[in-house]
Amino acid sequence: MAILIDCGCSSKYIIKNLNYLNITPQNIKAAFITHAHSDHISTPGINFLHNNDIPIYLHQDIYSDILKKHRDKIEKCNIVPFYKSVEIENIFVQSFDVHHKDKNISHTLGFTFSSTINERKYKIGYLTDTGKVCDKIIKNLVNSNILIIESNYNKTILNSSFRTYNNKKWILSEKGHLSNEDAANAIYKIRSLSTSKDSLKYVFLAHISKHHNTNSLAIKTSKKLLLSKNIHDVKLFITKRNQKCPTIRIN
């Protein structure tokens, strides 16, 4: 059984990566959509979901955002309110509102995935595309064993990039994206407030911009902050573009 988060790429790309994990489209029991930007939900992605009868779960406002562009494509969606838990077989999925908006999207979601295996509780936190990490987001992600979090940009590289002033202003805003420093601070806060066993054992830095960041800068920033706080047991990974990232198996 598998759950897919977002679907902003081609069927060929999705199937190629599923094969790497020994997963078939038939194994996917649900697709949860974070927001309506095209790199998170696209026409080829919607076709993949429909062609393989994969149920789509999203918030009503996000469904409305998607309809503006894909009215004749998306249908039969499961509407999930904020902060309401949905059970997909033995996994409980809860959404929470984050800070990523523009003229085309009204809401963006983060998710937690919780389950009990051999009488032990496990939790995965998922947060990409947010301009800030507020206390409410931290509260939702506390006690995650595995965390996927955006580390989108380096401020110096962004300010000197080809992006327009308005685009830079939006990225830097509380409705844009998360800097390396903000991601590092969020990781530290989540770890500091976590109390369960093996909390934040693995962290994947995601949504790293190819124009105003580098993989080495992203991981260096988080590692430096954690070490300065005497935290040595958080394993940091990079989710690279068009490359396989490490997989973690929970037993």
d(CA 46, CA 75): 9
Q: H/E element holding 133? A: none
Tell me, yes or no, whether 100 lies in a domain: no
Give me the mean pLDDT over the 168-175 stretch: 96
Classify residue 21: in a domain, yes or no.
no
> In the chain, how many domains are there?
1
- Least confident interval from 12-16, 30-34, 75-79, 126-130: 75-79
Q: Give tens-digit pLDDT for 69-97.
A: 887 677 778 888 887 889 999 999 999 99
Domain membership flag for residue 240: yes
Please give the mean pLDDT across all residues of the chain: 93
Asked whether residue 8 is domain-assigned, the answer is no
Candidate from 3-12, 68-77, 94-103 with smallest mean pLDDT: 68-77
Residue 132 within a domain: yes
C-alpha triplet 174, 240, 54: angle, nearest 5°: 80
What DSSP character marks residue 22? T
What distance in Å separates the CA atoms of residue 39 and residue 55, rounded to the nearest whole number? 19
User: What is the pTM for the complete model shown?
Assistant: 0.94
Which residue type is seen at 227?
A: L
Asked if the structure places residue 36 within a domain, the reply is no
**pLDDT band for position 251 (cuts 50, 70, 90):** low
By residue range, what is the domain housing residue 153?
Answer: 118-251
Would you say residue 243 lies in a domain? yes
Q: Which helix (H) or strand (E) holds 4?
A: strand 2-5
Residues 121-152 have pLDDT tens digits of: 899 999 999 999 999 999 999 999 999 999 99
The verdict on residue 71 lying in a domain is: no
State pLDDT tens for residues 52-66: 999 999 999 999 999
